[in-house]
Amino acid sequence: MTTANDYSEGNGAEPALKYAVQRACGGRAELVEGVIDCGSHGWDHEHTRSVLRTRLSEAVDRLRCVAGSGDLDFPGSLNWFVPDLAVVPKALAKGGGALLPDQVLLVVEVTSESNAETDRVVKRKRYAEYGAPLYLLVDRLERSVTLFAEPGSLGYTKADGPHPFGTSVRLPEPFGIDLDTSGL
């Protein structure tokens, strides 16, 4: 399986920019369509991430994965994302650097006022283009959850939602669970 580049070596604008982004803002910076975003999130945002991580934990353990917010690289583009939550096989997470979107099982973005359109449009498009199999958009502003599946170069071909908070959303195999969205 291919992994993302180690940008501490290499020549050219893309490796240099991605190397710089990895070191910006305490290591939590993103590069979104060529713009560095050092956004921080409030406690309500962190609460949502915590609830989701807890509700996914049984499936994550069963699948021998980890859930976290590590770096995702998009080679050939000016994008480097740090998702709010991603489910990644332990074998790839242990000792690994940045991963590619097609190496994760699920990526989750939780909107904030400052990034809602980026999560709804740009990230959805890029995650699909780079093969993330499932993208869960938790839209705190709209108080809804949408699951996108079947990625392709033109976007996701399947959308389940938006569902209002409080609705159970079915995460397909390999998860095979109904995700409770109450209290988000």
Q: Is residue 26 pLDDT above 70, yes or no?
A: no
Q: Given CA atoms 156, 60, 178, 173 in this order, what sign does their dihedral have? A: positive
Q: What percent of the chain has pLDDT over 90?
A: 66
Per-residue model confidence as pLDDT tens digits over 92-147? 998 878 899 999 999 999 999 888 999 999 999 999 999 999 999 999 999 999 99
Q: Which of 33-37, 57-61, 149-153 has the lowest mean pLDDT?
A: 33-37
pLDDT score at 30: 74
Question: pLDDT-based confidence at 27, cuts 50/70/90?
Answer: low
Q: Is residue 1 pLDDT above 50, yes or no?
A: no
Rounded mean pLDDT, 138-158: 96
**42 vs 67: which has the higher pLDDT:** 67
pLDDT score at 14: 75
**102 vs 16: which has the higher pLDDT:** 102
| Cβ–Cβ < 8 Å for 99, 92 | yes
pLDDT score at 3: 46
The strand pairing partners of 61, in sequence order, are none
Angle among Cα 44, 163, 135 to the nearest 5 degrees reads 75
Q: Is residue 86 pLDDT above 90, yes or no?
A: yes
Taking the C-alpha atoms of residue 15 and residue 63, their distance in angstroms, rounded to an integer, is 33
Question: pLDDT-based confidence at 50, cuts 50/70/90?
Answer: very high
14-18, long-range: CB < 8 A, 24+ apart: 14/75, 14/76, 14/77, 14/78, 17/78, 18/73, 18/80
Whole-structure pTM value: 0.87
Question: pLDDT-based confidence at 8, cuts 50/70/90?
Answer: very low
